[in-house]
Amino acid sequence: MEELGHPDSAMLYYKHAEATAAPTDYFNLGYVNMRMGSLYTDYYAFDGMGINKFEAALQYFKQSSNPYYQHKCLNNLGCLYREKQPQKSETLLNEAIKTAFQLNDTNGIIADSHALIVLYSYLKQYNKAHQWVQYVNQLGKPLDFSYYTTASDVFSALGMPDSAMRYLQQAEELGIGNDEEKMYYVKSLSLIALARKDTVNYMRYQTQEKQISDTLLANSDKLKISATENDFITQDEKNKLRNSRQLRHLIFFILTVTILLFAVMGLVYVKRLRTYRQLINELKNESDSQLNTLNQLQQNLGTLKNVDEPIKEFINTQLSLLRDITVACYHEPQNKLSNQLKDMLQFNESNRQNWVGLYDYIDVEYNNIMTITRKKYPHLNDKDMLLLALSCLGFSYVQIAIIMGYSNHTSIGTLKYRLAEKMNLDGSLNDYINDYTLS
């Protein structure tokens, strides 16, 4: 419910989970309280409740001896206490970074360091903030948009606008993804203008920042929990959930019909090729024949010079359909047909050739990336190559998780990061793929 954009229902389910957990089930009690703390914090609701939930979660994780989630709670509490109790915030963040070192979690160390930079900037202790900026830079890890804007603000406060501008340019290179990032970007520009004593631009950027801030406040979602938030889900909510399930079933039915329609359209492209007739007939009846069609198409691309572009378009259409199927599998795990499709999509020995067969098609689109990578990095296994292939095809984390058999799509980002390390890349896996993209 949280991922579907219903935080109110998500909160109720978490509360039911907390009520039904055994008193000694410290891990699940900690996890539920941590998630509720995140909801209160993310939706700016119930002042103080976010802190209460993270405090409770921290104690549960200490009882379950789980340092990984202790670190997450310490980091969140350090950020939440920043304005009301800055000294406590500093203590918590120092404890968090100590835990991250014990876990050898570089990303956690960076997150804690970033939080300390923000804290010292809030306290106007810019020399301390500058020391942490230098420390993070020494780690040599890729950094995000928020870090670069924060570092830029530190250098502006220290009267070094040129250095601040260099950090802001690095943030700009990552891309401004939403209005919140745009607001922080404009704020950093105004601080640079102030450091340069450029009053005209400073006032202009201040005005822009206020306009964006007002828009964000007007559009912000508030967590809607009734006064009886500990009650069980009401009948109206149950009806909403039932209607939501029916809607998903309808969407899945439409997707199935769409697959059949595109299968018929595919017959127009390959009707003169005898080898495709059986595949097209199978496409009308079985969803997994989409993979077989892709496999056959890539094997015959070399002989279809006259219809190369239509065939290529057809392959891309089938890939799009495959993405739709994986989305249906993810959002309707209880549906029997969805589970069958999920089993057919997952990479295993029985369908290994279907996926590996796509590598030749990817080589055509990406300058032989699969062949070159296999020769250059012989230590990569089948799952490494599949992850690279699915990334080339533009599959989302959720879709990749289904195909590779992972229950949690959030682990895919870590897998891609580890693959980049395994290949000893200077940049990310996406940067590596972009280097092979046809111009």
Burial of residue 15 (CB within 10 Å: 0-12, 13-18, 19+) is middle
Q: How far is CA 107 from CA 70, 100, 131, 143, in A?
A: 15, 8, 18, 9
pLDDT value for 228: 39
In a domain, 102, yes or no: no
Tokens of 372: 């070159």
Residue 403 lies in a domain: yes
The whole-number pLDDT of residue 304 equals: 46
Q: Print burial letters for 370-399: b (CB count within 10 Å at least 16), e (below 16).
A: beebeeeeeebeeebbbbbbbbbbebeebb
Which residues, other chains included, contact 88 with Cβ-Cβ below 8 Å and sequence gap of 6+?
Answer: 81
Average pLDDT over residues 15-36: 92
Residues 253, 333, single domain; the answer is: yes
Give a yes or no: residue 77 inside a domain: no
pLDDT given for residue 401 in this prediction: 82
Among 147-156, 247-256, 262-271, name the one with the lowest average pLDDT: 262-271
DSSP 8-class letter at 178: S
Q: Assess whether pLDDT exceeds 50 at residue 94.
A: yes
pTM: 0.50
The answer on 431 and 336 residing in a single domain is no
- Half-sphere exposure (Cβ direction) of 120: Cα atoms closer than 13 Å: 24
Same domain, 359 and 429: yes
Angle subtended by helix axes 86-103 and 67-80, to nearest 10: 160
Confidence of residue 233 (pLDDT cuts 50, 70, 90): very low
Whether residue 242 is found in the same domain as residue 301: yes
pLDDT given for residue 439 in this prediction: 44
In this structure, the answer to whether residues 362 and 417 fall within a common structural domain is: yes
291 pLDDT more than 70: no
Residue 288 lies in a domain: yes
Q: Answer yes or no: do 364 and 406 share one domain.
A: yes
Q: How far apart are CA 352 and CA 203, in angstroms?
A: 61
Please tell me whether residues 282 and 203 are part of one structural domain.
no
Report pLDDT for 317: 66
Lowest-confidence pick of 33-42, 264-273, 318-327, 356-365: 264-273
- Residue 307's pLDDT is what? 44
Tell me the C-alpha distance between 402 and 411, whole Å: 12
Establish if 414 belongs to a structural domain. yes
* pLDDT in the model for residue 95: 95
Q: Using 50, 70 and 90 to split pLDDT, how confident is the model at 232? A: very low
Token pair of 321, please?
Answer: 């359909």
Higher pLDDT, 88 or 46: 88
Amino acid 226: pLDDT: 41
What number is the average pLDDT over the span 151-173?
Answer: 92
User: Averaged over 298-308, what is the pLDDT?
Assistant: 51
- Output the pLDDT for position 339: 58
Question: In residues, how long is the chain?
Answer: 439
Is 26 among the domain residues? Answer: no
> Domain check: are 147 and 206 in the same one?
yes
Q: Are residues 436 and 402 located together in one domain of the fold?
A: yes
CB atoms within 10 A of CB 38: 19
pLDDT band at residue 7 under the 50/70/90 scheme: confident
User: Comparing 257 with 30, which gets the higher pLDDT?
Assistant: 30
Q: Which long-range contacts (CB under 8 A, 24 or more apart) does 90-97 make?
A: 90/116, 90/119, 93/119, 96/71
The whole-chain average pLDDT of the chain stands at 79
Query: Structure tokens of 243?
Result: 């209607």
* Residue ranges in 332-368 assigned as alpha helix (H): 336-345, 352-356, 358-365
Q: Is the pLDDT of residue 270 over 80?
A: no
Choose one of 326, 345, 364: the last residue of a domain.
345
What's the domain range around 304? 234-345
Q: Are 194 and 206 in contact (CB under 8 A)?
A: no
Q: Cβ distance 186 to 3 under 8 Å?
A: no
Please report the pLDDT score of residue 345 as a whole number.
Answer: 61
Query: Does 254 lie in the same domain as 219?
Result: no
Read off the pLDDT of residues 112-130 as tens digits, 9 standing for 90 and up: 999 999 999 989 999 999 9
**Residue 215 in contact with residue 189, Cβ under 8 Å?**
no
Percentage of the chain exceeding pLDDT 70: 70
Whether residues 198 and 248 share a domain: the answer is no
DSSP class of 301: G
**pLDDT the model gives residue 48:** 78
User: Given a cut of 60, is residue 189 above it in pLDDT?
Assistant: yes
What is the rounded CA–CA span in Å between residue 79 and residue 38?
A: 12
pLDDT at 359: 83
Q: How far is CA 238 from CA 18, 20, 232, 243, 328, in A?
A: 20, 19, 10, 9, 22
**């089930």: which residue's tokens?**
25
Are 197 and 255 members of one domain?
no
Least confident window among 40-49, 232-241, 368-377: 232-241
Residue 254 lies in a domain: yes
Closest CA to 101 of 421, 93, 130: 93
**Does 249 reside within a domain?**
yes
The residue out of 324, 345, 366 marking a domain boundary is: 345
Among residues 321, 345, 369, which one ends one of the domains?
345
Model confidence at 293: pLDDT above 60: no
In the chain, the number of structural domains is: 3
